[in-house]
Structure formats: C-alpha cells, structure tokens
Amino acid sequence: MVDVIKNLQVIKKRVAESAMKTNRKLDDIKIIAVTKNVEVERILEAIQGGIDAIGENRVQEALIKYPLIEKEIEWHMIGYLQRNKAKKAVEHFDLIQSLDRISLAQELDKRGKQQNKIVNVLVQVNVSGEESKSGISPEETVEFIKSLSDYENILIKGLMTIAPYTDDPEETRPYFARMKGLFDEVHKLKGRNIDIEYLSMGMTNDFEVAIEEGSNMIRIGTGIFGERNY
Ligand SMILES: *Cc1c(COP(=O)(O)O)cnc(C)c1O
C-alpha cells in the first residue's frame, strides 16, 4: 500500500533542501500533484497532506474526478490539449500548462470570451527538440508570446517544459538552465496579457536539478502516488 502522506513528507523535505541551494524556501516552490491514473481516494489523501493543486493530462479523466473532489483546489491541465476539448478545459481548469500552438490559443481565447473568463496559460517549450514532445522551440518562444498579444482573454503566466527522461538527472541540467535563461528573457516582455510568474519544470525523476536551476513549479506523480498502473 502506497503511503501518500509519507511520500509527500519525503518530497517536501527534498524540495526544501534543493530550494535552500538557491536561497529559497519550500513555500517558494509550488508542488503540483500529478493525478493521472490515480484513484480519487488517493488524491483526497494528498489533499489532506497539504496538496492544493493537481495536474491532469486528459480532460475526460479530469471531468470524471471533478465532482468527486469537492475541495477547493487548483486544477492544472498538463497534457496535450485538443481544440475540441478547449471549451471543457476552460470551464474546469485554473491553469493550462500546455499551450503549444496558435490555433489552440485562438480557441482558448474564444472560449474564454464566451465564458467571460480569463484563461491562465503557460507556454509549453520543447527545450530538447525531441520529436515526440510538443511545445514551441526555445528560439521561437519570445516571438510566439508576442504573437498572442491580441488574445485578450488569455493571460500568459509563464513557461512549462518536460526534460528528456534519463537515468542520470544530472544530464537534464543544461536543459533546465536554458529554460531559466528563456524565462528571464520572457519576464521582461510587456503586454496586457502577459504576467509572467511560473517556470514549471521538474518531475519525480529530475525535480531537484530543476529547482536548483530555477524552477518554481514542479509536477510530481510517481513520487507521491507510486508507480502508475495503466
Ligand atoms: C506524468 C507527468 C508528470 C509527472 O511525472 P512523474 O514522473 O510521475 O512525476 C509531470 N508532467 C507531465 C506533463 C506529465 O505528463
């Protein structure tokens, strides 16, 4: 049996230790519990353990869980978002971390207007250039954000990335460092729909390196809930 509360304590301790290396505290790093394929009961345990934000990568799955979790928590969309799911996503999610193309921005803006909502987004960056990953290339990210300036119902809150999986998390360090550089650059951009705050990077395998390189939002699944069964 997976002890969610204990796992959370261990993760928080490790987050605090990594944060200290860059003169930050546990509270400066936002922990998103990634709950894909996790039962509602376990999710409620995590919330009891202090989790206030969860990440789902499929709208359908989130919609099923949504009514079963009555707590006031943040819902983050962290997976590839199809345009035909944008309406539901805007209805239910507090932050869409996977904005990776103009056509999706346009659809989110439209749905935001219809629902009288500002849609908070992170721009997903494909920092490693792997073909299997979605995201804007680092070189194009600043231009991409500038090109969103007409979408008044979108609010760009920062950047998200998924580093390549490796057995040695040290190997991810250059990617995270590159993202921090890009984040600092994006931070200087001005615009009505730009309010840069979050650099979302780091998962169970590599969050310590990510924090050391400047992440302020990590997405942890396995480290909290154990190995997922598909
Ligand atoms: C599954 C997933 C995570 C969490 O991965 P773990 O290795 O289980 O911590 C984080 N981010 C995204 C985008 C994911 O799909």
From the list 116, 75, 67, 108, the residue with the least C-alpha distance to 92 is: 75
Which pLDDT value is given to residue 117?
98
Minimum-distance ligand 1 atom for the alpha carbon of 225? 8
pLDDT tens digits, one per residue of 179-198 = 999 999 999 999 999 999 99
Per residue in 57-109, pLDDT tens? 999 999 999 999 988 999 999 999 999 999 999 999 999 999 999 999 999 99
Q: Which residues have C-beta within 8 Å of that of residue 163, sequence separation ≥ 6? A: 127, 128, 172, 175, 176, 201, 203, 206, 210
Cα–Cα distance measured from residue 220 to residue 214, given in angstroms and rounded to the nearest whole number: 16
- Count the Cβ atoms, other than its own, within 10 Å of residue 206: 26
Query: Between 4-20 and 40-48, two packed helices, what is the crossing angle to 10 degrees?
Result: 50
The second-level CATH assignment, the architecture, of 4-224 is Alpha-Beta Barrel (3.20)
Question: If you measure from the C-alpha of residue 192 to the centroid of ligand 1, how many angstroms do you get, rounded to a whole number?
Answer: 31
Ligand 1 centroid–CA 177 distance in Å is: 20
Quick: pLDDT tens for 151-160: 999 999 999 9
- pLDDT confidence bin for 230, thresholds 50/70/90: low
| Distance of CA 210 from the midpoint of ligand 1 (Å) | 14
Q: State if residue 7 touches ligand 1 by the CB under 6 angstroms criterion.
A: no
Ligand 1 atom with the shortest distance to the CA of 36? 1
Q: How far is the CA of 202 from the centre of ligand 1 (A)?
A: 9
Q: Measuring from atom 7 of ligand 1, which residue has the nearest CA?
A: 204
Mean pLDDT of the residues in the chain:
96
Task: With 0.85 as the threshold, say if the pTM is over it.
Answer: yes
Nearest atom, ligand 1, residue 207 CA:
9
**CA–CA separation, 226 vs 118, rounded Å?**
35
78 lines ligand 1 (CB under 6 A): yes
Paired tokens of 153: 């119902």
